Structure 1
Amino acid sequence: MSQGLKKLIFNLCDAPGTSGQEPVDVAARELRKYAEVRIDHNNNVIGELGNPDSHYHIMLDAHLDQIGFIITSVDEKGFLRFAPVGGLDRRVMAGSPVTVFGKEPVTGIVCCMPPHLSDGGEDKALPFDKMALDVGLTGEAAKERIPLGSRGILYSQPQELLNNRLSVGALDDRCGVAALLRTAEILSGEKPDARVTVLFSAQEETGGSGVTTAAYQIYPQEAIMVDVSFAKQPGVASVTAAELGKGPMIGVSPALNPKVTELLFETAKKEKIPYQTEVMGGATGTNADEAAVAKGGVACGLVSIPQRNMHTPAEIISLDDVENTARLLASYIMDRGCRRD
């Protein structure tokens, strides 16, 4: 399964899609293998599987958008100015290759001041409004080929690391999307007595408007969000981070439903699925915060995949954590579909 899961993750990450321009066709094609699928006018991909007449209705969510940028102006020399779409990390920008999706994809480089001319300021990350992209075009040609409002992403090369780990951009949250596709695959063989709605939501990186409208229209009894969270690495406090490869992180927060959270722990223990605990003092910073207050309220849980180098073109995850996330969710749903509480 790991090779198939690896290929799925790389294929999802290879499909560019910043907030509002998510790769819905790619995601919908994969989900249609297991579910009836529709795409709403907010770019949410929604799939229905399981027993539509069940007393129990659960929504699983992973956001489909990735961070990137939007072109705001083109000067007479052909340099492009841009603004971030989502939490782009400006520390990794200088000298980085990018792809700009104008009338056709164009490769560019984020301009970088040579250290010889920087007067010791090369360690300072410029604000985005001071950065520019060089795509090798004159001003006239750039304006013709790259309309204002064109989107772009940092260039990323997929890498398979040792110890069953992967590195590529957009793992936040395409690895969550892959986990839900794997969950749907498991459930297709188990035939749960539950109504399951799988949501690949839009615009999480720019505020969560996709899940806000989708959760309102779907309005399940419960929802479990799958996102990424921080893995241990130099400079990241151990008390706030998890180990790669040691299992998904079950969220504990005042913003989450305590019953759903406890049942996630119970399922992991019963099925001997490795897990870790992530404790938050308030909001989770994920789609759970929006879904929980949809309509009359939705009981939400959170499962996160540990990740290093978040919001960079070299994010790192463990395939084992993605597979165990899917196992946890599938087991949870099979068990909850049999309950009457």
Structure 2
Amino acid sequence: MSNLQLQRAKDFIKELSEGYGVSGYEFSLNHPIMQKFREYADEVHTDRFGNIYSLKKGTSGRYKMMLAAHMDEIGLMIKEIDQSGFLRFTTVGGVDPRTLVGQEVIIHGREDIIGIIGAIPPHLQTGGGEDAFKMEDLGIDVGMPLAQASGMIQIGDTVTLSRQGYELLNHHFAGKSLDDRAGVAVMAVCLEELGSLYHRHDVIAVTTAQEEVGIRGALTSAYTINPDLAVAIDVTHGSTPDTKGVVNIELGKGPAVALGPNIHPAIYKGLVEAAKEHRLPYQPEPIPGASGTDAWAIQVTQAGVPTGLVSIPLRYMHTSVETLDLQDVINCGKLLAYFIASLPDDLEGYLCY
């Protein structure tokens, strides 16, 4: 694994992490994503839903293989401007209110406006402020009176956390929205690797929209493509000292390869065999029910799609300091490329039960 490859992955993840694109408003990410994928893909285009398709042609093009990773992020939406100019908000996606107090945010109104989510300090609370705040108790302070705020901010404007991504020691990287913009970077690594490998089948890497509010982009794009097989790329919970016994996936030990009813057995087997053959680390991840990822929607599209799932171990999911190991990102992309290159000419026989 070259330092140059790690640096490129870090730069792309950092750019995407610092961008904004709450579910349904991902369009500001189109330019950097399409620009990156044009380096490796034969064709890149978007659809009316906001998904981005990057086609890497195979030597035969007999079958279509779909990759999917979502670009949207959880966020907030303005629902009220009170008489003092404070902004009341609701959530878009699974936001934990415990993570919001004291956060710097960006309101995407007529122009981007910086705000602070404030709350009553513990000095003024009965009981010393030990209880978690409720969403309705929080507000965004933009330092404006009502008249000024109303002229620049509207009900329905989206809000994202303001956070720069930064590298920690040992190739660890922290930032917001790594769920799942790190998965988008994995697809770029995969297509780059495929440039030097022989692969028979067409690969369509889809950067999906609106995963966080109901895996919608995966549903529409999979219906459009109707692929012969697919692999979704997402994140999974990485272990920390306080998750002992609950989370067993670790950072730096390779991507998690899912198995369970959402996963076609042949795809799981093929991914594991590719990892072993090319000496890439991986971690089995049993998922006995719904995976809650794009794989869940893709699997039941049209007449059904044989589907797999690989995930990047991630700490502190759905916070502004999500943390991953960049080596896992590279290994995930390489694993997918080697798996794709290993697929036989006849996928009908390969995928039959």
**Whole-angstrom CA distance in 1 between matches of 2:241 and 2:61:** 47
Q: Is the 8 A contact 1:232 1:238 kept in 2?
A: no
Residue in 2 aligned with 1:288? 295
1:29 maps to amino acid: Q
Residue in 1 aligned with 2:180? 173
Task: Check 1:52–1:74 CA distance in 2 against 1; reply closer, same or farther (3 A cut).
Answer: farther
Which structure 2 residues correspond to residues 134-153 of structure 1 after superposition, within 5 A? 134-153=141-160
Residue in 1 aligned with 2:276? 269
Cα deviation, residue 109, structure 1? 0.7
Task: Check 1:189–1:135 CA distance in 2 against 1; reply closer, same or farther (3 A cut).
Answer: same
Cα deviation, residue 155, structure 1? 1.6
Cα deviation, residue 126, structure 1? 2.3
Q: Is the 8 A contact 1:176 1:227 kept in 2?
A: yes
Residue in 1 aligned with 2:318? 311
Aligned with 1:61 (options 42, 57, 68): 68
**Whole-angstrom CA distance in 1 between matches of 2:201 and 2:232:** 17
**Whole-angstrom CA distance in 2 between matches of 1:152 and 1:256:** 35
Structure 1: tracts of 5 or more residues without a match? none
Residue in 1 aligned with 2:14? 10
Q: Is the 8 A contact 2:123 2:129 kept in 1?
A: no
**Whole-angstrom CA distance in 2 between matches of 1:151 and 1:246:** 36
Which structure 2 residues correspond to residues 94-133 of structure 1 after superposition, within 5 A? 94-120=101-127, 122-133=129-140
Q: Could you say what secondary structure the match of 1:199 adopts? A: strand
**Whole-angstrom CA distance in 1 between matches of 2:142 and 2:344:** 54
Aligned with 1:155 (options 141, 151, 162): 162
- More deviation, 229-238/137-146: 229-238
**Whole-angstrom CA distance in 2 between matches of 1:139 and 1:263:** 59
Residue in 2 aligned with 1:20? 24
Residue in 2 aligned with 1:196? 203
TM-score (norm 2): 0.93
Q: Could you say what secondary structure the match of 1:226 adopts? A: strand
1:8 maps to amino acid: F
**Whole-angstrom CA distance in 2 between matches of 1:184 and 1:307:** 23
Q: Is the 8 A contact 1:50 1:191 kept in 2?
A: no
Which structure 2 residues correspond to residues 322-333 of structure 1 after superposition, within 5 A? 322-333=329-340
Q: Could you say what secondary structure the match of 1:182 adopts? A: helix
Cα deviation, residue 238, structure 1? 3.9
Q: Deviations over 1:46-85 (max 9, x none)?
A: 1111228522311001001011111111112111011111
TM-score (norm 1): 0.97
Q: Could you say what secondary structure the match of 2:340 adopts? A: helix
**Whole-angstrom CA distance in 2 between matches of 1:124 and 1:328:** 45
Cα deviation, residue 121, structure 1? 5.7
Q: Could you say what secondary structure the match of 1:30 adopts? A: helix
Residue in 2 aligned with 1:33? 39
2:10 maps to amino acid: K
Structure 2: tracts of 5 or more residues without a match? none
Q: Does 1:244 align with 2:278?
A: no
Q: Could you say what secondary structure the match of 2:196 adopts? A: helix
1:170 maps to amino acid: S
Cα deviation, residue 234, structure 1? 2.3
1:18 maps to amino acid: V
Q: Does 1:218 align with 2:225?
A: yes
Cα deviation, residue 339, structure 1? 5.2
Cα deviation, residue 336, structure 1? 0.7
Residue in 1 aligned with 2:304? 297
Cα deviation, residue 240, structure 1? 2.9
1:25 maps to amino acid: H
Q: How many residues align?
A: 341
**Identity over aligned pairs, percent:** 38
Cα deviation, residue 195, structure 1? 0.6
